[in-house]
Chain A
Amino acid sequence: MHELSIALNIVELAGEEAARGGYTRVQAVHLRLGRAAGVVKEALASAYELAREGSAVAESELKIEEVAVQIFCPRCKVERPAVSDVEPQCADCGTSSTQVVAGRELEVYALEVLE
C-alpha cells in the first residue's frame, strides 16, 4: 500500500502550500505523475479519498496528469519518447538510452483555490 503513503504525503504537502499562500479553500490538487514512477494511478486516486479526510484539503479533488516516458537518445541527440513506459529505447531509432528525462515525476504541480 505505498499509494497510501504517497497520498498522505500529497495531502501534507498541499496543506503546507495552502497555509503558506493563505488559501483556506482548496478545490483541487493537481498532480504530475510519471508513467514510470511506480505508482498506480487508480490506486492513488482511491487512496487520496482516504488520505484527505479531516485534513486542510479535505474538500479537494486529486487531478492527475500522467507524464509519458521521454529519453535522451544518444543517436538522434535529442529528447524522444520511449518505445514504452517500461523500456528506455528511442521510439524513433530504437537506440537504448540511460538518460530518462521525463516519466518519473511525482509532483504536486498546482492548487486550485477559491478566494
Chain B
Amino acid sequence: MLKPFRGFRGGYKFINYDGPAAPVIVEDDIPSRVMIPLRQGFGQDVKPLVKKGDVVAAGQIIARDDHTVSSPVHSSVNGIVEDIKRMNYFKRVVAMVVICSQDPSKEIARIPGYSAEWGKLSNEEIEKLIYLSGVSSLDREGIPTRFKSSIIPPEDVKHLIIHGVGSEPYNISLELLLEGRRLLNFFEGVKILKRITPKSHVHLAVNGHSRRIIEQLVKLSSNMEWLDIYPLEPKYPQGYDEMLVPTILNQKFPYGYSAANIGVVILNIQAVLGVYEAVTEGKPFIERIVALCGPSMKEHVHVKARVGTALGDILSKRLDTSKPSRVVLNSLLTGVNLNDLTLPIDRTFSQIVAIPENKDREFLSFTRPGAGRDSYTRTFLAKFLPGAKKRPDTNQHGEERPCVSCAFCEDVCPVRIIPHLLSKYVKRGIIDETLMNYDIFNCIECGLCSFVCPVKIPLLAHLKEGHEKLMQQGCDRTQCILPYFDLKGIEEYRGVTKL
C-alpha cells in the first residue's frame, strides 16, 4: 500500500550537487591482485580457511566462523593466495587475504543448492544460501538467518525496512539499481526475505521524487498486504536507521544500539538484490556496484567491481589528478577519507565521492553571488536558480568565531538536541549528568550541525569529545536508553552500530 509522504523535523536537503553518477554501469577487467578484508560490514572478523600458496576460485569461501556473529567471506578472483596479513583498514586492524589473480575470466563459482524457483526451497535452504553468499553481512543489522549472521533470529524480526532514499549529497542511482529486470529481481528478493522472517511487516522506503519507480512498485505490490511503500523526502539524514525507524514506524529509536534490539532490520536495495542472486542464482556477494561522483571525478559512472579491488585500480583513470582532491567513502558528511588508493573496496561501499581540496584564499569571498554555493541560509543564488549545480569543496569557507546562538544547529539537528549548548558545556569542561540530561547520547553523529554553523564551530567534534569523556568517567548510554526499552541481554544484542 502506498503511504502518504512523510518526514521528520530538522535535517537538510542536499540537492543538485555537481557531478552525480550517471545511471550507467561500467564493468572493469578482473584486477591482477585483490586484497580481501576478513571483516566486511556487519559482524566479527572471521577466521581464514586458506593459507599462503593455496589456489582459490572466485566465489570460494576463504574465511568463515560459525560460532560468532559473522558471515563468510569469499575470494573474488581465481588465483593464488599470496599473503595473509593484518593491516589498518579504516581505523580498524583487519586481517587481509591478498590474492594474486591468475585468470581474467569473469566466471564465479556458484553456491550449491540454489534454484531459480525458490518457492520450492525450504526456509533452511534459503537461509543457508543467504548466509553462505555473504550477503547477510550487509547493513547495520545484517540479515537474520538461523546461522549467526545477525544478532536476532529471523522469527524475532517484526519490521523489515528496505530503503533507497538517497539523502546524501551524492547517492547511488535508484533508477539504475531498480532498472528493468532488476526491479523484478528486487521484488523477488523482498518476497524471499518476507518468507524467512514470517512475522515481519515489510516497509519499502524510496525517494519520493522517483515517481516512476514508486508507480511500478505500487503496481507490483498491489496484492501484498504485508508490504507498505513510503515515499520519503530525500532529506539528510533520512537514510540513517535512527531516522527511518521514527519516520516509518513512529517508534523511538534506542540511540546508540542496533535497531535489531527492537526487532527492526533495515536493509539497502543492493542487499535485497544480493539476496535474490544468492538464492536463485547461487551467486556469492563478491561484486558491488559503486557510484563514482563529485566534481573531481572525470567519469561519473557506476562501476561494478569485485570486492577487494584496490581503489587505485578503479580510480586511476577516473580521478582528475590535475588538482588536489579529497576522496571520501559514501558520505561527504561522515565518510572516511579514501586518499590511500592502495586500500581495497569491500561489500559496504556504495559511493566514492571526490571533491577538490581547496586551499585557495578567495578575494572578498563573502561578497560572491554564489550560483554554485550551498547554504542552509537563503543567501546564495544557488538556492533560487532551479538548475544551479552546487560545487562542494573542502575549504572551511570562513573563520572560526564565538557562537552567535543563531540556533541553526538546533534547527537542523534531526534528533532535536541542542548542539551549541552541549558544545559550550564540553568546551568549558563541564562533563557531568547535565550533558546526559541534554541527551548527548542521542547524537547520531550525522555532522549536520557542523555543516550549517556560520561561525564554523566543529560541533560534531565537540559532541564526540563530550561523549568520549563521559564514557571515560564511567557514564554509559545505557543509563539513558534502558528506562525506555526492554533490551534484554544488552551486551549480546549490541552488535555493530557504527560502520
A and B interact physically: no
Q: Which B residues lie at the A interface, using CB under 8 A?
A: none
Interface residues of A (CB under 8 A from B): none
